[in-house]
Structure 1
Amino acid sequence: MNPHLLFWIPAVLRLSFILLGAGVLWYFFGPVFGLLCGMAGMCVLLCVQLHYLYRLADWLDNPNSAKLPDGWGAWTDIFSRLYKLRRGDEKNQAELTEWLARFRQAMSLLPDGVVIMDDVLFLEWCNPAVEKHLGLHLDRDKGRRVTNLVRSPEFMDYIILGRYDQPLTLSFRERKLIVHIIPFENRRQILVTHDATESQRIEMMRRDFIANASHELRTPLTVINGFLEIAASQPNLDTQTRMAHLKLMAEQGQRMQNLVEDMLALTRLESIEYPLRPERVGIAALLEQVHQEGMALSGGKHQISLAVDGPDIRGSTEELRSAFGNLVSNAVRYTPADGSIDIVWRDTASGPQLVVRDTGIGIRQEHISRLTERFYRVDKSRSRETQGTGLGLAIVKHVLIRHNAVLAIDSQPEKGSTFTVSFPKESVC
């Protein structure tokens, strides 16, 4: 049956009942009494309807399904339908709120900055990343124009020209940012910011690495090729000169071999294809070997002491020998003759430590943070004299990363340096 017909039947029955009652009273008590009773019944029916209309209007001001009034007659069906509609709306609203919360949480975890703006660039929402990139704060800047918050001529030109098909590379707040505006809907725009500072630094390091490696390899190759040309053009060189040339070529060849080996070692340390395979490392034997190598490199020019008072650890013996050896060899190379070098292995409350202390030339503070970069040299002329590859501390850094250890450097010019390697307590055997 038609639902609209079911709605009208009760109303027609109630009206018919009032009219029938009025007709009966008319018949027995006269027309006046019958009309009065009929009008009274209609007034009661009207008041009931007005009462439910009032309650409906009151509920519409605050449409909460829990507060929906009960009805009578046709109002029962009306309120029942409203209740179902409201419950459906509340369910949809709860799901929408949940999805919005998930969306904001996901946007908050993004490393890229996201700003939602209206068509006239007023800020509606932003995630924490853009607060770091552009200095925007949602609580403080919501409803303000973004162009008034990001004070950059390049950004203003990008907005004015409206060429959003290409991103903008922007230097802002000591960061290199890639900014892109994406229009969506009719009255919304998304501003996306990507921090390219680190990737640019890595790219610069890669270029420097290639340039420095090429330079380091070219120098010994130039020497070797030069002597070979001399040998080819002057076949009658005396024995003493020829032997001197061969000695220098051998030295330069060894220098190239050391450089290539260090570069390959760095590649292995950075590759996920060579995971760390920990074993028990006999620290006493390892440091004794490093101590002997340091003595050989020094040639008796330095006082090199060794003190071992700590536990063995788990790690790669070969990698740690390379790292410890680089620290000691650097100390020997950069400590003048008659200087002293102390090698100390000790146990502390936070874990075992290796300390390499020297009385060398020292390092100025502005250089310390960059010492572990590939080919970084404090004094290039001094580095050439010491025959270093420029990769030793970079190897140390990556070995320690693989062993969850950290390197601390304390140095003063002309007074010496202290390199402290701290291992976690979990590394102790």
Structure 2
Amino acid sequence: MYEPYPTPDLARDHKKFRYSSLWTFAKQDLRLLVFLLVIGGFIGLGVGYFWVGLCIAFSIFFAFQLRSLYLVNEWISNRPYEAPPNLDGIWGALLFNVYRAQRQERVVQAEMVGLIDRAQSSLVALAEAVVLTDELHQIEWWNPAAEKLLGIQPLDRGRNLLTIIRQPSFIDYFNHIDKSPDGIKIKSSVFEEHYVQIKLTRFGSESRLLLAYDVTRIHNLEQMRKDFVDNISHELRTPLTVLSGYIETFTDQEDLNPRWKRAFDQMHSQTRRMNALVNDLLLLSRLEGNKQIAKNQIIEMPSLMNQLFDDAQAYNVDYGHTLNLDIDSHCDLIGSDTELASAFSNLITNAIKYTPKGGTVTIGWHDDGEHGYFTVQDTGIGIDPKHLPRLTERFYRVDSARSRQTGGTGLGLAIVKHVLMQHAAYLEVESKENQGSTFKVVFPKERLYNPDESLNSFEL
């Protein structure tokens, strides 16, 4: 920590110097000049050379000023960190102000150094890896956890980060940070069967801050969950198929007792619901496992929208809603037709199911040149805003009783989220209770395909 320097006589009475005006200090020089001129004048009169005496007095005053200037220059040039010389007059005021500003700057500098030291000490103590790179992506600083998790060694200072973490997925993430706002999970190059979550943040012009932490346990638990769901879903399909077959057989008996018929109808309804749940679980598991499959089909949106509209009309028979189709975009989509059709259908059937009979559901496809928008707007029961952040969680239900009545599995929007993530798209929801909802799927420009522009380019 900074140690204060000895306080000179000039600085001891700091209150007087702080609140006095410059005229106060100038008067000291003026008094000295007047004193010298009076003495010189009297001596000059005595010897008969009045003006010569005044010139000599003024020369002596000028010599005092030159001496003060010399002392100020010598202090600033050679001893700026020591106490300044004790001078009177304007030069003393100048030295005091310089010295006070210098001390204040040193105090602030010492505080900043202390703050940086504490921040660096806290980063060193973190279990998460922290790495700083410069504008050329060369490593400037790292904490001990980075050596353990990422294998960075002292000799790596000044090396390009991409020569140390060389996985293709990380290099792609490094060059396109904005495409993965939550970071990326990669396999550790230091420990086998270990996984590291990495998050990059830009600062300055091209400098980057890297944060990384071990997610092996979370990865293993997630893999166990996926394996369990996948296996249990497959195991349930066979007994459910058998049960459904026998229940349908008994239900079709014409001489079945009405009391039993009601029971079998309920059993048949519940087995259908369980089958839907198992199918959704298997679909979700497949989507999670197929993240690397290319989604590069060109989907003719007018054809897909008309197909979705026809399916919606068939589903709408029991609800009696007014269905509208609104297409004002000439762009097609690049992606997986089956996955997107499944996601869009989920949004449409939800709108139909959760809208009271006689409502209105509008299905739309639009673009603004930068994004494509698939929308489903309804006049249904709406959703309390507090539920919106959790809508795409598995098995999350806004109203469990209503979901059971409509036969929902609680996985529809989770499936939608996974499909959209694999197409670099996202879901926006606007809703108010008893005023309806609008579900908007936003696709980036890279996922849009304009056949008219392609045809024009071909003709050229």
Output the TM-score relative to the length of structure 2. Answer: 0.45
Larger radius of gyration: 1
The TM-score with structure 1 as length reference comes to 0.48
